């Protein structure tokens, strides 16, 4: 499936796919990523995982369902603070 998708992308760009050189991908399952039991936590988990990766933080054990609500609150405050005018409420 991954070979098919990549070749479709190549063909959609106008290039011709060399069917002789088609090499299958090796798929590895990511290790050490936090798992959630609740589907509604997937978004906040993804944002925090990307944040950890960008800051080169390898320990993601604190991203879990128990503190997902707090992670969501913190992210909401960060977003709010980025977009609120400093003169807001004066």
The string over 28-66, giving b where at least 16 C-beta atoms fall within 10 Å of a residue's C-beta and e elsewhere, is: eeeeeebebeeeebeebbeebbeebeeeeeeebeebeee
pTM over 0.85: no
Whether 19 shows a pLDDT value over 70: the answer reads no
Distance CA 69, CA 43 (A): 12
pLDDT reading at 60 higher than 80: yes
Q: What is the pLDDT of residue 65?
A: 92
Ramachandran class of 62: left when φ > 0, alpha when ψ lies in -120 to 50, beta otherwise: alpha
């Amino acid at each position: 499936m991954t070979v098919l998708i990549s070749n479709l992308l190549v063909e959609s760009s106008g290039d011709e796919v060399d069917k002789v050189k088609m090499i299958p991908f090796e798929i590895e399952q990511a290790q050490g990523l936090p798992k959630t039991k609740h589907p509604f936590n997937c978004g906040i988990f993804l944002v925090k995982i990307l944040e950890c990766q960008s800051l080169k933080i390898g320990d993601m054990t604190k991203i879990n369902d128990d503190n997902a609500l707090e992670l969501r609150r913190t992210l909401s405050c960060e977003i709010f603070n980025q977009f609120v005018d400093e003169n807001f409420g004066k």
